[in-house]
Amino acid sequence: MVAGAGLSAQACSTDGSHPPLWAGLLKGMVEWCVHYGFGEATHAQQIDALIEANYLLDAGQEIEELFREKSLEQQCLREVLKCNEVMVRDAHSCIARIPFRAYLTTNYDNLIETAYSQVAGRSITRFYERSIDSVLEEYREARTFILKLHGDVDDAASIILGDRGYERLLHSGAKYRDCLHTLFSMSSILFVGFGGTDPDLDGLLSKVAAFDGRRRRHWMVVQEGKFPALKAKRLLNDKGVRVIEYPADKTHSGLIEFLGILGTPPGVLRKQDDVLSMEELSRQVATEPPYLISEQKVDDVRFDDKRKE
């Protein structure tokens, strides 16, 4: 599974607040910097203009350059992401119950790790860019792990926020690139928590397409209406990623229901009186993207005893 910011936003504090999505995170970091004297108001307004224009990676680079030390950037991230306030909710708990081979995430928080520990009763091994050499060994040994693609709030040196860091990872980091190549080419990927404006989504999808784009065995779960029908078609035909939609509501209940189904014991997926395997479902999705979960009246899902990533 590959998790984006939308998954982290499912967490909630006791006062009902949620961690921000990408644009909200950057705006919160700008406010934090101004409050603590790490930037001038005029510069902050210019960064806000970048965010409003959806130049999120450029805004991230400007913010990153405001910090004299990585530990300050780490402190800012922890506070803006409400790391000491939010608790895992149903979405994270459901994901922790699904027997994924591995978790990859662009998020900085440790919500997946916390949920996994609560559900599995043990910790999950974390990897970052500098420890990526060990990822493939874990994968070959079928030991579940999490790869923090952009770093971790618990490890200041691992945090990557700006455009230069992303470009280096995706285009210059040979070990990083080769690791993703192997994982994407050997696994089916479920993308969760991404929308049309995520700055890192295009880079990840381009990697999937380059490594495995013709096999059409990857999936992306999104809220209904996130992608126009032709965008879903292009994701399928050009990237090999099938879009699965769930009905829109404020609590993302359709997503939670879908993840809950995936986390149930192996069985079959039923539609009315017919039995559909995931292969049969894939053929249906391929001919009519995007695929709306609510139309299927799903009872259970079977992945033919293969572990999912």
**pTM of the entire predicted model:** 0.82
How far does CA 203 lie from the centroid of its chain?
Answer: 13
**Mind giving me the DSSP string for 188-224?**
--EEES--TT-TTHHHHHHHHHHHHTTS--EEEEEET
What confidence score (pLDDT) does residue 200 get?
A: 65
Q: For residue 267, what are the contacts with CB-CB under 8 A and spacing of at least 6?
A: 299, 300, 301, 302
Question: Which residue has tokens 């662009």?
Answer: 106
What confidence score (pLDDT) does residue 189 get?
A: 87
What confidence score (pLDDT) does residue 195 get?
A: 75
Closest Cα partner for 75 from 67, 48, 165?
A: 67
**Alpha carbons 219 and 294: distance in angstroms, whole number:** 16
What confidence score (pLDDT) does residue 114 get?
A: 97
What confidence score (pLDDT) does residue 93 get?
A: 95
What confidence score (pLDDT) does residue 185 get?
A: 81
What confidence score (pLDDT) does residue 303 get?
A: 37
- What CA dihedral angle connects 207, 163, 172 and 7, to 10 degrees? -40
Question: Which residue has tokens 């990897």?
Answer: 127
Judge contact between 59 and 146, C-beta under 8 A: no
**Alpha carbons 241 and 213: distance in angstroms, whole number:** 8
Beta bridge partners of 152: 155
Supply 291's token pair: 């695929």
Note down pLDDT in tens along the chain; length 309 residues.
Answer: 999 999 999 999 999 999 999 999 999 999 999 999 988 899 999 999 999 999 988 999 999 999 989 999 999 999 999 999 999 999 999 999 999 999 999 999 999 999 999 999 999 999 998 888 899 999 999 999 999 988 999 999 999 887 777 766 666 567 887 888 888 888 888 999 987 666 667 667 776 666 554 566 789 999 988 888 998 888 888 888 889 999 988 889 999 999 988 887 665 444 433 333 444 444 444 444 454 544 343 333 333 334 445
Beta bridge partners of 274: 271
Closest Cα partner for 214 from 190, 250, 178, 238?
A: 238
**Cα angle: 167, vertex 169, 174; to 5 degrees:** 120
Q: Is 166 helix (H, G, I), strand (E, B) or coil?
A: helix
What confidence score (pLDDT) does residue 133 get?
A: 87
What confidence score (pLDDT) does residue 235 get?
A: 86
Eight-class DSSP state of 172? I
What confidence score (pLDDT) does residue 294 get?
A: 42
What are the start-end ranges of the E strands in the chain? 2-3, 102-105, 125-127, 145-148, 190-192, 218-223, 241-246, 269-271, 274-276, 291-292
